[in-house]
Structure 1
Amino acid sequence: MPATGHVFDPSILREYDIRGVVGRTLHEADARAVGRAFGTIVRRRTGGTGPWRVSVGRDGRLSSPMLEQALVEGLVQCGVDVVRIGLGPSPMLYFAATPAASALSPEVQGGVHVTGSHNPADHNGFKMVLGGAPFFGTDIVDLGRIAAEGAFDSGAGGIDDADICAVYVERLLQDLGAFDGAGLSIAWDAGNGAAGPVIEALTARMPGNHVLLHTSVDGHFPNHHPDPTVESNLSDLRTAVASGSLDFGLAFDGDGDRIGAIDGKGRVVWADQLLAIYAEEVLREWPKSTIIADVKAGSYLFARIAELGGVPLMWKTGHSPIKSKMKETSAPLAGEMSGHIFFADKYFGFDDALYAAVRLIGVLARLRRSLSELRDAMPQTVATPELRFAVDRQRKAAAVCEVQEMLAADGCCFSDVDGVRVDTTDGWWLLRASNTEDMLVVRAEAKDEGGLARLMAEVDARLAAVGIVREN
């Protein structure tokens, strides 16, 4: 008798992961089906007769234990052994599931982290890796197909528990010099996310003065939303830096793969500005290498990489495409405006905000300059935040294509690597379709407010010409 298939709500199968609203679009049965389908893919792609092993972790959301349990049941049902690493940040799961990094013995072939990342408390989902590489795009399409057809492999897997937090912290500290951070006063805001306990263990072993905020894991996120790319979520961190006269502050999202920063003057240091700081040291050790940033990054970053002798590469937004492009180009450093930073010079190429924090402390110590001084040296520009507005699912990609065609007909120069990015004498503007929601995304950067107003007027005119009015 053929296995019964499972059809997911189509909204939860995203480009980079599987994500939905618990109790509405994401249920316990979905988690079990994810386990069975992912386990089936692990078996078929790795081949052989086994054993097949997958590590599983989870964040601190209220629904994560339930979803993790169902996920594990699904994996075991298809004959895959599960190594549960428990509560922790997504990068700790990546660490466990990357062959070159893994402290697990024998090694695992893949990994799944139950996490809602930076999203609201009632959201949750799954981030997956296979063979040390991101699992996304057509991989997720294949997972959905296997589930719908009920084409699952069968077997009887086992379950083991492993505590790798101490080994992970030890690796985070490996690239920090003995005196890096000595004399510095730093605030760390975990946002009640899954990185909190690791931050406590990490800072306990580091030199300097460390002020910890919201490190207790709480799936209600009682203090603020766990997304450090939204400036209002950095209010507690800014207050801590100012009241304690600290050198700078660091913030993390719900699963610890996005970093945010506040300098000693209370200014946000955005991810592209952090990348420019990292690039100075990386390019000194890896001259002429490629450094990647997504299409939402500011022009200064790309110019700075070239000035330092590197090869700047603008690429698609999304942690999975960035990681794949890094491997293709052997880039030692990459990042995106959402706060995902990737090091492959001394680390393993996956996005790890805790490692990015350690590297920032080390860079500042070796440059003998404060974060505020480095921020002062950067050009002053004005930019919009990421402006997102809803469009019909069938319309979002078509609208971007129509704007591209219009620009080409007008003889405009633009990049189409991910949507459309147009450079003008005022600055630049970007229009792209979200890969995860039925949204269009706009961002613009200019030298002054007048230039920014002109850029946004051009965006709105181009959208109007294809029948779309942007919500203000």
Structure 2
Amino acid sequence: MIHSSVFKAYDIRGIVPSQINDNFAFLLGRALGQRAKSLGHTQFVIGFDGRHSSPSLAQQLSAGIQDQGLEVINIGMVPTPLVYFYTYANDIGACVAITGSHNPPNYNGFKMMLDGQAIYGENVTRLKEEMIALADTPLLKASGKEIILDIVPDYIQRITADVKLSRPMHIAIDAGNGIGGKVAPALFKALGCQVDTLYCEVDANFPNHHPDPADPHNLEALIKHVQQTDCELGLAFDGDADRLGVVTKSGQIIWPDRQLILYSQDILKRVPHATIVFDVKCSRHVAEQITQAGGKPVMWQTGHSLIKQKMKELNAALGGEMSGHTFFKERWYGFDDGLYTGARLLEILSKEQNPSAVLEALPQDQNTPEIKVEMQEGQPHALIKILQEKAKLPTAKQLITIDGIRAEYEDGFGLARASNTTPVLVLRFEGRNEDSLARIKAEFKALLAEYAPDIQVNF
């Protein structure tokens, strides 16, 4: 049985072994191999994270791809960005990273790329039918083979050849026992840093805290360590190291939209008028600061695959999401890589005597984290459609409907959008001060009371 629920908007994700298992991985390998072959690919890159189920899933995925006659390049247990790196650097175009990312230990999944682009939307959901069809098709027993490579030294060498720190820095790294711990300490030491490590031993049970830097609770140990030692700042990575969290000496969390301002200002010094793409959840200050630095800001839909696609379309130099995915095209390959993002951050901050002061000086309003309202399957998208057609927000100066409904105000913004991965309404608010924030939240609360009176709003 193949469960429809595992085919998400941007990847495949589910519970092991009831939803994701060896048989699933083998059929997925056959389906992806079939697609890759039809596109003219002859090679397929795979890598996997540190979860208990990952090596076996990788073995079966590889066998399925080989059955279609392709050569599999297995780069072993590595962070997701290294799978993308090897694929882009060698112009291969097809890859799969087997990872449960920041999900609980009993989950696993597949992040996929074909023809040089992330697979998302219908291209993910159609895989179910292709897998079912192949389950009744005899094995081709084609002449595919597998090559096993260790690419970690090449990855570190590529970054250290490009990213140069102006001075050595003392930093702390928290990998949350995710796969980032296999590479992050070696990378940052190679860049010239003194590195204090927290939870960098890969442990699929995540015994210390969940590997998700988007949750402030998961940053508490890192904050405490940075405050109590000589470390200048702290870096945290999610379970597969494609997202970055940052904390300062005083314990302030620098959320990814504020980080994006710093990266934008740096890139625009070298690439004047560059286009920079960011998602609808980001602060209003992102667009303002990009414009002020001479760049062209483009707000787009949330979703790492969607941001990558928009960047390619616009030839953007940089992209970023509030979730922590950052995409450097300038000097890099345009995919989300928390490790490389951390290196670029230190390159900028190593020019400063007080890096934390620079980070904390980045503009920030009063804001809320993501507020998630659980609904029934299908309800969030139906509600958003109604709001896009009928919403009236008295003091808003503009309504943006590229992804949900984002109301722009002179002194802040409000956002309501439907999650693409779970039946949840996602809300986020920002205001110049507490009064602005309260007013904007009140307008959205009234809007939801009018069009969705049955849901419980928790803001």
TM-score range, shorter chain: over 0.9
Whether the 8 Å contact between 1:180 and 1:361 is mirrored in structure 2 is no
Q: Does 1:170 align with 2:157?
A: yes
The match for 1:14 is 8
Q: Does 1:305 align with 2:290?
A: yes
The match for 2:279 is 294
Moved more, 199-208 or 275-284: 199-208
**Aligned AA (2:12):** I
- In 2, the alpha carbon distance for the partners of 1:218 and 1:377 equals 36
Whether the 8 Å contact between 1:381 and 1:445 is mirrored in structure 2 is yes
The match for 2:417 is 432
Residue 410 of structure 1 deviates from its aligned partner by 7.5
Residue 138 of structure 1 deviates from its aligned partner by 2.5
The match for 1:405 is 389
The match for 2:314 is 329
Return the match for 1:374 from 344, 347, 358: 358
Q: Does 1:96 align with 2:86?
A: yes
Q: Does 1:31 align with 2:25?
A: yes
Residue 403 of structure 1 deviates from its aligned partner by 1.1
Residue 302 of structure 1 deviates from its aligned partner by 0.9
The match for 2:238 is 253
**Aligned AA (2:319):** A
The match for 2:456 is 470
- In 1, the alpha carbon distance for the partners of 2:346 and 2:106 equals 34
- In 1, the alpha carbon distance for the partners of 2:292 and 2:131 equals 50
- In 2, the alpha carbon distance for the partners of 1:332 and 1:243 equals 37
Moved more, 124-133 or 298-307: 124-133
Q: Deviations over 1:244-293 (max 9, x none)?
A: 03211100000010000001211000101111111111001110111111
The match for 2:143 is 156
Partner SS for 2:327: strand
- 1:33-72 alignment runs, 5 A limit: 33-46=27-40, 52-72=42-62
Q: TM-score, normalised by structure 1?
A: 0.92
- In 1, the alpha carbon distance for the partners of 2:255 and 2:194 equals 23
Return the match for 1:416 from 390, 401, 416: 401
The match for 1:128 is 112
Q: Deviations over 1:106-136 (max 9, x none)?
A: x634111110111111111000112322121
Q: Deviations over 1:24-64 (max 9, x none)?
A: 332222111111111110001227xxxx2111100011111
Residue 342 of structure 1 deviates from its aligned partner by 0.6
CA RMSD, aligned part only? 1.9
**Aligned AA (1:142):** R
Q: Deviations over 1:82-126 (max 9, x none)?
A: 11111010000001111xx13xxxx63411111011111111100
Partner SS for 1:187: strand
The match for 1:113 is 97
Whether the 8 Å contact between 2:33 and 2:68 is mirrored in structure 1 is yes
The match for 2:326 is 341
- 1:359-370 alignment runs, 5 A limit: 359-366=344-351, 368=352, 370=354
- In 1, the alpha carbon distance for the partners of 2:260 and 2:393 equals 35
Whether the 8 Å contact between 2:102 and 2:211 is mirrored in structure 1 is yes
Partner SS for 2:382: helix
- In 1, the alpha carbon distance for the partners of 2:353 and 2:288 equals 21
Unaligned runs of 5+ in 2: none
Residue 365 of structure 1 deviates from its aligned partner by 2.4
The match for 1:263 is 248
Q: Deviations over 1:332-355 (max 9, x none)?
A: 111001111110110000011110
- 1:441-456 alignment runs, 5 A limit: 441-456=426-441
- In 2, the alpha carbon distance for the partners of 1:234 and 1:376 equals 17
Moved more, 460-469 or 301-310: 460-469
- In 2, the alpha carbon distance for the partners of 1:369 and 1:310 equals 27
Partner SS for 2:277: strand
Whether the 8 Å contact between 2:9 and 2:124 is mirrored in structure 1 is yes
Partner SS for 1:159: strand
Moved more, 268-277 or 69-78: 69-78
Partner SS for 2:336: coil
Q: TM-score, normalised by structure 2?
A: 0.94
- In 2, the alpha carbon distance for the partners of 1:251 and 1:325 equals 27
Whether the 8 Å contact between 1:343 and 1:351 is mirrored in structure 2 is yes
**Aligned AA (1:423):** E
The match for 1:147 is 131
- In 1, the alpha carbon distance for the partners of 2:34 and 2:329 equals 30
Partner SS for 2:236: strand
**Aligned AA (2:9):** E
Return the match for 2:258 from 257, 265, 273: 273
Whether the 8 Å contact between 1:426 and 1:455 is mirrored in structure 2 is no
The match for 2:268 is 283
Moved more, 459-468 or 389-398: 459-468
Partner SS for 1:278: helix
**Aligned AA (2:4):** P
Return the match for 1:180 from 162, 166, 172: 166
- In 1, the alpha carbon distance for the partners of 2:395 and 2:224 equals 49
Partner SS for 1:421: strand
Partner SS for 1:400: helix
- In 1, the alpha carbon distance for the partners of 2:167 and 2:222 equals 19
Partner SS for 2:253: coil
Unaligned runs of 5+ in 1: 1-6
Partner SS for 2:27: helix
Moved more, 261-270 or 142-151: 142-151
The match for 1:82 is 72
Return the match for 1:208 from 193, 198, 202: 193
The match for 1:4 is none
